[in-house]
Amino acid sequence: VAIVTGAGSGIGRAIAVKLAAEGYKVLVNDFRTEAAEAVAAEIGALACGGDVSNEADVSAMVAKAEASFGPVTHLINNAGHVHQGKFIDLTVGDFDRMIAVHLRGTFLCTHAVLEGMLARGSGVIVNIASQLGQIGGIELVHYSAAKAGIIGMTKALAREVSAQGVRVNAVAPGPINTPLVRSLSEDWQRAKAAELPLGRFGEPEEVANTVAFLCSPQASLFVGQTLGPNSGDVML
């Protein structure tokens, strides 16, 4: 039973499609209820609208998944938000919304399912970060900070719960052809593509393949890791 947040489009949608094809019972979450419902109808999944930064919405989402499918075994914290601007022009509201969706959202969703996973002695959590959380991004300071926080949370939580049967890892994609990335300026996109050793942005399905691997028993030794389908932007 997998919850995929922010799955109404882009990377989240591709993850939901991939997991459903592999036999998971999937709850598709998005703050745009109509988008969640469309994806769920397409893949035979369950839809639940809601904002991951809202504790009540998160509780309702987990309750819906459990009532329909049973205990949540896999959580993919994918919901995201992007906003481009020079640091000097950012408002407190800009910063707070970025942290709320990415970092608070990851915390709330994880907190909502972790107790059950620990009680059962098994579970998988995959957090979608970004390569900008590793190297930073011009005019994306708040986004980079939020994604770096997700990577730090992933490592710390993995140290805390791995011995109790819950595997926690992250995926840090590079620029991917999604509505979120296409909302950035054309100048930013051209400059970024020119920096990539692979010479192109990735596709959502390429990230979904990485997530599916981390969700599977084949990834049993992966603990607190950050995998990078990033066109070579970060090499570790």
Residues identified as active-site: 143
Angstrom distance (rounded) from CA 217 to CA 26: 18
In sequence order, the β-bridge partners of residue 227 are 171
How many Å apart are CA 22 and CA 43, to the nearest integer? 11
CA distance 99 to 95: 6
Q: Which amino acid is at 68?
A: S
- Name the maximum alpha-carbon separation found in the chain: 49
Tokens of 197: 């050793």
- Residue 48 vs residues 59, 154, 158, 213: alpha-carbon distances, Å: 11, 25, 27, 25
Tokens 């915390």, residue located: 107
Q: How far is 63 from 61, CA to CA, in rounded Å? A: 5
**What SS3 class is residue 128?**
strand
Helix ranges (H only) for 32-89 are 33-43, 55-69
